[in-house]
Amino acid sequence: MWRVDYFLYIYIVLHWEIKTEAPLQREWQKSGEVIKNIKKTYMISRKNFLKQASLLSTVLFVSPSCMTKSSPSSKSANNKVGLQLYSLREQIANDVKGVIEKVAKAGYQEVETYGYNATSHFWGMNPTDFGALLKTNNLVSPSGHYDLGSVLSNGTSSDDLKRTLDEYTEAALAIGQQYIIIPWLAPEMRSTIDDYKYVAEKMNQVGEELQKSNLQLGYHNHDFEFEDHDGQTGYDILLETDPQNVAMELDLYWAVHSGNDPIKLFNDHPGRFSLWHVKDMDKVNRNLNTEIGNGSIDFSTIFQEGKLSGLKHLYVEQENFVIDPYTSITTSADYIENSLLKEI
C-alpha cells in the first residue's frame, strides 16, 4: 500500500513532458475530477493507482499543450509577411490595381492600408471593390492607418466623433480589418505630458467604442513619443491605456532611432505589441531606410522575442528607396521569410 501523492509524482515525472503552452480549461476540470476520485482512498494499491493514472494521462493528453496557464509570451505571429502600403505611396495613387498585384507577386500575404477618406476611399476604390481586389490577389488586410486626429483632439463634438468612427468602422469591416491604427499625433497634440494624458484618455474611450464593432484601436509610434518630459515620456503614458482597448503597433526603426531597445520594451510590457513595423536603418545615414537585412538593426535578436512581444502581424515599411521600390520590397520579403520568421 503506497501513498497516492508519491505515485502521482513518480508517474508524472516518468511518463510525460510538461509543455509551456496554454491549458484547456475544460480538460483541467476533467483532470481535477480524476485526481479527486483517486484521492478518495488515501492508501491505494500500485495496480489501482496506475489504472487511475492512465485515465488521468488520457485526459491531459487530449491536448499536449495544456499544461500551463496562458501568458503574453505564448502568443505568436501568424507567420505571414505584410507590407504597409505607404511604402508605395508614389505608385499606388496612380495604379492601385497594378500595385496590389505587384505586392502579391513580391511575396506578401498581408497589407496595411493608409489614407482612407470619405471622398477618395482607398485610392479611388470604394471599400467593397478594394476588398475584392485584395481577395483576387490572395491578400488580406488585418489593419489600416486612419486619420484620427480630429477624433482625439480637444473639443471634438460627440457628433463629429461618432460620424468619423462610423465612417472608418464601415470601411475597415468591409475589407476585413481587425485594427484601426492611429498613425501619428500632430505636434499640437503632444507638447506636454498633460497632452499625452488627454490623448490616452480619448484612446481608451475610442477603443472601447470600437470594441462594439469587434475592432481594436491601435497606436503606431514614431520617435517623438520617446522624448523626455521631466522624467516621463509620452510613450510611457500611452502604454498606460487599457490593453483591451488599445493595441500597440511598434515601429522598430523609430524605437531604435530614438535610442530605445525593443526587447526591453517587450520585457517591460509583455504581450502588448500585437503589431510591428519592420524597417531597417541605413548603416551610413541612420535617418534613411534600407532593405531588411541590409541595415544596422539586429532583427534576428528582436524576432526571437516575437512571442514575448505578443506579435500577431508584421509589416515591412520603407519610406525611401535607393533601388527600384519593387526590387526593394521583394528583397525585404525574402529576407524575412527565409531568415527571420524561423526565429519567432
Query: What's the CA gap between 38 and 91, in Å, rounded?
Result: 69
| Residue indicated by cell numbers 493528453 | 61
Domain boundaries, the chain: 2-60, 76-343
Strand partners, 122: 125
Taking CA atoms, 43 is separated from 9, 10, 36, 53, 328, in Å, by 15, 16, 13, 15, 70
Taking CA atoms, 221 is separated from 186, 225, 251, 291, in Å, by 12, 7, 6, 20
- Please list the pLDDT of the chain residue by residue as tens digits (344 residues): 444 444 444 443 334 333 333 333 434 444 444 444 434 433 444 444 444 444 444 433 333 333 333 344 334 567 899 999 999 999 999 999 999 999 999 999 999 999 999 999 999 999 999 999 999 999 999 999 999 987 898 877 888 889 999 999 999 999 999 999 999 999 999 999 999 999 999 999 999 999 999 999 999 999 999 999 999 999 999 999 999 999 999 999 999 999 999 999 999 999 999 999 999 999 999 999 999 999 999 999 999 999 999 999 999 999 999 999 999 999 999 999 999 999 99
189: which 3 cell numbers?
Answer: 497634440
pLDDT at 77: 62
By three-state DSSP, how is residue 280 classified? strand
The sign one gets for the Cα dihedral 251, 253, 258, 261 is positive
pLDDT at 146: 98
pLDDT at 151: 85
Query: What's the CA gap between 223 and 184, in Å, rounded?
Result: 10
| Residue indicated by cell numbers 500611452 | 238
How many Å from the N-terminal Cα to the C-terminal Cα in the chain? 49
- Rounded to the nearest angstrom, the gap between the alpha carbon of residue 288 and the centroid of all alpha carbons in its chain is 25
Q: Are 295 and 333 in contact (CB under 8 A)?
A: no
- Rounded to the nearest angstrom, the gap between the alpha carbon of residue 10 and the centroid of all alpha carbons in its chain is 41
Query: What's the CA gap between 285 and 88, in Å, rounded?
Result: 21
DSSP 8-class letter at 283 = S
Query: What's the CA gap between 240 and 328, in Å, rounded?
Result: 37
Q: How many distinct helices (H) and strands (E) make up the chain?
A: 15, 14
Q: Tens of pLDDT along 294-334?
A: 999 999 999 999 999 999 999 999 999 999 999 999 999 99
Q: Which fold has domain 76-343?
A: TIM Barrel (3.20.20)
Q: In the chain, what are the helix, strand and coil shares in percent, each to the nearest 5?
A: 50, 15, 35
* pTM for the full predicted model: 0.79
Q: Tens of pLDDT along 164-192?
A: 999 999 999 999 999 999 999 999 999 99
Residue 60, φ and ψ in degrees, nearest 5: -70, -35
